[in-house]
């Protein structure tokens, strides 16, 4: 440490400023930065938000294909469902639990970019403007526009009627808004409805005398159990004897009944094809890697395959 021209810095030289709590302005800027990220990125797939976009009852925004991948059976999906579930926390069990959000887009020909705007006020929807969407139609507006037409009760885009409780804040940041969406969802559950105002899978349809109506959710189901997409179960193809019957070299599942919405059916088919392609690619890579063994594993040299084992000279032949 001596005679080398160096020095030992003191704490006063290293710590220029004392620790302090962030100011209100710094907290507000940090919150805006966080909101900007949530407005542009799917929180489960961590990919940029692209249409079609869906939202659950809390106002979170997701890529629809990411939610479909999450709802697929484990053998058909390549996503880490545990990681997805850490964020979703049981809020989404089928596509009935989400609503597709329709944003009005404004394109900039010069910058070749686009932004989401309110069709009434033309304000850009994002972290700087409080935005909402309507259930069940899903059209997005600024809160200012909804307050201006509050007494009408009809969507200015499509004319669909809605109740005051079905105005969902997008990415709510205040405790009041968060409490309102939770209270709304509790009310809908008591009525046997989902976030999209469709009947929940466990809702009960009973006659006046208490008997179950035919086709109610309480009747025993004859199809295989599994996750649902748009209210339809996704199961593996089966032969007549009940055994699995992979098609086209893939074990990707298919839907037991058709999906009513054409856009959802098309998106689901595309997701299934992508998952099947990923599974075939992984299987191909595993087959190739099985031909080679790790050179560091010397303890299993005798069990190596024919391409890496090589030729070894017997010990007794070396001295002849």
> In the chain, how long is the greatest CA-to-CA distance?
104
Domain membership of residue 260 (yes or no) is no
Domain membership of residue 20 (yes or no) is no
Domain membership of residue 156 (yes or no) is yes
Residue 76: CA count within 13 A, CB half-sphere: 26
Contact 98, 67 (CB under 8 A): yes
In sequence order, the 6+-apart residues with CB closer than 8 A to the CB of 115 are 105, 106, 108, 124, 125, 126
**Structural domains of the chain, count:** 1
Domain membership of residue 69 (yes or no) is yes
CB atoms within 10 A of CB 140: 24
Residue 63's domain spans which residues? Answer: 29-190
Domain membership of residue 237 (yes or no) is no
Domain membership of residue 172 (yes or no) is yes
pLDDT at 181: 96
Strand, coil or helix: what is 62? strand
pLDDT at 246: 44
Enumerate residue ranges in the chain where pLDDT < 50: 206-226, 233, 235-257, 298
Cis peptide before 293 (omega within 30 of 0): no
pLDDT at 39: 95
Beta strands in 77-220 (DSSP E): 99-101, 104-108, 113-117, 131-134, 140-142, 167-169
Dump the DSSP string for 99-116.
Answer: EEEB-EEEEETTTTEEEE
Cα dist from 154 to 135, 136, 166, 180, 181, whole Å: 11, 11, 11, 21, 20
Q: Which of 55, 64, 78 is nearest to 282 (CA)?
A: 78
CATH code of 164's domain: 3.30.40.10
CA–CA distance, 19 with 136 (Å, rounded to integer):
49
Q: Which of 178, 180, 145, 156 is nearest to 166 (CA)?
A: 180
Cα dist from 275 to 15, 21, 58, 72, 235, whole Å: 52, 48, 28, 10, 15
Contact 196, 98 (CB under 8 A): yes
Domain membership of residue 206 (yes or no) is no
pLDDT digits (tens, 9 = 90+) for 8-55: 888 777 877 777 788 888 888 888 899 999 999 999 999 999 999 999
Domain membership of residue 186 (yes or no) is yes
Q: Which of 177, 152, 172 is nearest to 164 (CA)?
A: 152
């Amino acid at each position: 440490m001596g005679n080398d021209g160096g020095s030992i810095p003191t704490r006063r030289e290293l710590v220029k400023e004392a620790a302090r709590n962030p100011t209100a302005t710094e907290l507000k800027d940090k919150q805006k930065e966080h909101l900007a990220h949530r407005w542009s990125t799917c929180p489960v797939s961590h990919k940029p938000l692209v249409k079609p976009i869906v939202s659950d009852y809390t106002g979170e925004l997701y890529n629809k294909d990411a939610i479909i991948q999450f709802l697929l059976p484990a053998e058909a999906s390549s996503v880490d469902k545990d990681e997805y579930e850490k964020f979703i926390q049981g809020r989404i069990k089928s596509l009935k639990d989400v609503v597709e959000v329709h944003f009005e887009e404004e394109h900039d020909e010069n910058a070749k970019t686009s932004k989401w705007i309110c069709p009434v006020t033309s304000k850009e929807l994002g972290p700087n403007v409080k935005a909402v969407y309507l259930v069940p139609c899903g059209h997005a507006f600024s809160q200012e526009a909804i307050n201006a037409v509050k007494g009408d009760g009809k969507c200015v885009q499509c004319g669909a009627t809605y109740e005051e409780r079905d105005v969902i804040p997008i990415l709510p940041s205040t405790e009041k808004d968060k409490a309102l969406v939770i209270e709304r969802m509790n009310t809908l559950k008591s009525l046997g409805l989902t976030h999209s105002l469709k009947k929940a899978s466990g809702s009960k349809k009973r006659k006046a005398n208490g008997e179950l109506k035919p086709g109610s959710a309480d009747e025993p189901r004859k199809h295989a159990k599994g996750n649902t997409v748009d209210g339809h179960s996704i199961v593996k193809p089966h032969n007549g004897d009940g055994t699995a019957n992979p098609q086209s070299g893939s074990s990707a599942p298919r839907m037991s009944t058709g999906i009513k919405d054409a856009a959802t059916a098309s998106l689901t088919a595309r997701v299934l094809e992508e998952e099947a392609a990923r599974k075939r690619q992984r299987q191909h890579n595993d087959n190739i890697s099985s031909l080679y063994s790790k050179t560091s594993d010397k303890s299993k040299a005798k069990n190596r395959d024919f391409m890496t084992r090589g030729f070894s000279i017997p010990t007794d032949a070396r001295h002849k």
